């Protein structure tokens, strides 16, 4: 049990974070919006230079999302520009958080408000699919630009700092937004929708095994079924919203109508269309297509047992150069959506249980971490799509650390 001595430093840290955030908001509030945005871009550039792990995460996301559309040098250029755009958007959020409602129209415009008006006219509410895109803190404030009388609600995840969390909740509620927690009963939210309310849900977030299998940007992954579930229960319309940077310190919001069936897959297709309006504005710093695997939770558990049609397959390295001789990949770790590539010792023949068409990489047995780090990085770049995971038997510490350094999950199975 935590005692007073343990809680005291945490309270001081919360207060320090709150003071820093408050000081930042007060400071940038006096500066012109375009200047604040450019300062944020400069900070984003510094983050790009200083955080190589995040660079790898962003590049991996872009390689999946835009596979076949851009070559690697162009994707690297987009990745750097993404850091700068994200810095500008996040820094600007500190300024727009306290902007007077009357001034919101000077920093954000809604292009096709008629789509929302038509959906609201049906009287059954609107599920609004949102993503971490642009200055997304503005999304909680554009209620001031919605049709008069529109009721808005939004799901939120409480911040770890209770002081900052209290501030955020107070502001959003002051703007007229009803806040729903993930612990709230879905029937409560559905009831709000049935009265004609608008409920915004950040639908691009990464979820674990409880999520529903869908394709997102052509890649099989898992997504929250909540938006489609709420829309079906309340018979509500579904719209997505993109938030695009028009110029330094100014944004444009645009609604995207759902054209496919009201399912989780349909929601993700609609959200994808919204995000494609401006790839640089998307927050790519979280690894969206991460696979959740453990020795007792196989790729079949994560991707299911069906092929789910064509799309962008996963890549897996079957690491045999350090595995016990004679070891082979268990049947439970095979899946039709995964392309398997073999990593074997120099001079070693491809095992008979792997197809002759299998891509082969070479790595010496017992290599140190630095060598393995370079080899894995090179293997990752031999195809347009990135390597999603490595599977082996009794992984060496050097391989474990090298894969972690390349942000690639490693599954070590027992012999």
pLDDT at 69: 93
pLDDT confidence of 371, banded at 50, 70, 90?
very high
pLDDT at 22: 78
Q: Which of the pair, 221 or 29, is modelled with greater confidence? A: 221
The answer to whether the CB of 330 falls within 8 A of the CB of 239 is no
Least confident interval from 18-32, 199-213, 346-360:
18-32
Whether residue 59 has pLDDT greater than 90 = yes
pLDDT confidence of 1, banded at 50, 70, 90?
very low
Least confident interval from 2-6, 175-179, 246-250:
2-6
Q: Which of the pair, 262 or 300, is modelled with greater confidence? A: 300
The answer to whether the CB of 219 falls within 8 A of the CB of 311 is yes
Mean pLDDT of the chain: 90
Nearest Cα residue to 196 out of 227, 239, 153:
153
Whether residue 5 has pLDDT greater than 50 = no
CB neighbour list of residue 45: distance below 8 Å, 6 or more residues apart = 80, 83, 84, 87
Three-class SS of residue 49? helix
Please write the tens of the pLDDT for every residue from 289-307.
999 999 999 999 999 876 6
pLDDT at 309: 62
The answer to whether the CB of 219 falls within 8 A of the CB of 338 is no
- Share of residues in the chain with pLDDT > 90 (%): 68
pLDDT at 377: 96
Average pLDDT over residues 154-176: 78
pLDDT confidence of 308, banded at 50, 70, 90?
low
Dihedral angle computed from the Cα positions of residues 201, 202, 207 and 212, in that order, rounded to the nearest 10 degrees: 50
pLDDT confidence of 110, banded at 50, 70, 90?
very high
**pTM (two decimals):** 0.90
Angle at 211 between CA 208 and CA 214, to 5 degrees: 115
Handedness of CA 247, 251, 257, 260 (dihedral sign): positive
Burial of 286 (0-12, 13-18, 19+ CB in 10 A): middle
Average pLDDT over residues 11-17: 82
Please write the tens of the pLDDT for every residue from 346-358.
999 999 999 999 9
């Amino acid at each position: 049990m935590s005692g007073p001595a343990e809680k005291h430093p945490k309270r001081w840290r919360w207060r320090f974070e709150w003071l820093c955030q408050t000081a930042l908001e007060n400071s940038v509030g006096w500066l012109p919006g375009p200047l604040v945005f450019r300062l944020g871009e400069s900070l984003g550039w510094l983050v790009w230079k200083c955080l190589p792990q995040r660079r790898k995460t962003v590049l991996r996301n872009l390689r999946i999302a835009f596979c076949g559309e851009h070559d690697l040098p162009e994707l690297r250029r987009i990745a750097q520009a993404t850091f700068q755009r994200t810095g500008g958007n996040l820094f600007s959020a500190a300024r727009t958080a306290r902007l007077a409602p009357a001034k919101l129209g000077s920093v954000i415009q809604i292009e096709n408000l008629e789509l929302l008006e038509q959906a609201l006219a049906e009287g059954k509410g609107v599920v609004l699919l949102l993503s971490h895109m642009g200055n997304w803190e503005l999304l909680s404030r554009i209620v001031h630009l919605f049709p008069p009388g529109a009721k808005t609600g939004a799901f939120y995840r409480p911040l770890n700092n209770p002081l900052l969390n209290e501030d955020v909740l107070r502001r959003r509620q002051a703007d007229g937004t009803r806040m729903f927690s993930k612990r709230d009963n879905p029937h409560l939210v559905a009831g709000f929708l049935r009265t004609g309310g608008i409920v915004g849900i950040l639908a691009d977030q990464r979820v674990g095994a409880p999520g529903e299998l869908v394709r997102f940007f052509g890649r099989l992954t898992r997504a929250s079924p909540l938006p489609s579930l709420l829309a079906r229960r309340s018979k509500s319309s579904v719209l997505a919203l993109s938030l695009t940077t028009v110029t330094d310190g100014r944004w444009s919001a645009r609604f995207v109508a759902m054209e496919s069936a009201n399912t989780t897959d349909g929601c993700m297709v609609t959200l994808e269309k919204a995000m494609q309006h401006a790839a640089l504005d998307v927050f790519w710093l979280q690894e969206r297509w991460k696979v959740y695997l453990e020795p007792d939770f196989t790729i079949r558990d994560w991707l299911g047992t069906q092929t789910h049609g064509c799309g962008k397959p996963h890549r897996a390295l079957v690491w045999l150069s350090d595995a016990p001789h004679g070891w082979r990949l268990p049947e439970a770790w095979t899946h039709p959506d995964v392309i398997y590539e073999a990593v074997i010792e120099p001079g070693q023949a491809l095992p008979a249980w792997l197809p002759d068409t299998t891509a082969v990489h070479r790595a010496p047995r017992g290599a140190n971490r630095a060598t393995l780090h370079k080899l894995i990085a090179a293997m990752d770049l031999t195809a347009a799509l990135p390597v999603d995971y490595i599977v082996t038997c009794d992984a060496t510490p050097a391989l474990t650390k090298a894969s972690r350094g390349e942000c690639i999950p490693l599954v070590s199975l027992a012999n």
